[in-house]
Amino acid sequence: MSDPHSTHPVYVFFYGSYINRDVLAEVDLTPDRLSVARLPGYELRIRPLANIVPASHAVTYGIICLAHHDALVRLYQHAEHVLGGVYLPEAVLVETDLGDDTPPAYRPALTYIAHHLPDAQADNDYVSRISVPGRAYGFPDWYIDHIESFKT
């Protein structure tokens, strides 16, 4: 029997390959709804895995959705044991853009950050698993260019 607390949904902000629904599906995480969101004050780096670092001048684009804690545990165990990165949860405040002239909405969410990753060149296929859905979500062109700058 599963722990009833582990199935409580929380908002989570994904910014790397986990913006890709196919990658999420690999660990049986299939959000019903998601929204494009941005996180001010953090810069995306892909060296060799996606990660964000504090940077006052920057913004990171991604998606926000509801996920259960048990699914997040599975996802980040996959990140550690398959991809080789230990990501820890941190609370953030993301902006969601509702379009038109509607001002952005703000939502607290968890995001996961790796504080110690090896510094290496990113794999081009890995970068594409981020840039392709980013383009489909309508991330700004300059941001897609930033993602693709990590290709060799």
Domains of the chain by residue range: 4-141
Which CATH number, 3.40.630.30, 3.10.490.10, 3.20.20.70, 2.10.25.10, labels domain 4-141? 3.10.490.10
Min mean pLDDT across 4-8, 16-20, 81-85 is at 4-8
Q: pLDDT digit string (tens) for 75-86? A: 999 889 888 899
pLDDT at 5: 53
Q: Is the pLDDT of residue 61 over 50?
A: yes
| Residue type (1 letter), 115 | H
**DSSP character at residue 79:** I
Q: Where are the beta strands (DSSP E) in the chain?
A: 9-14, 34-46, 50-68, 88-96, 105-113
Assign 139 to helix, strand or coil.
Answer: coil
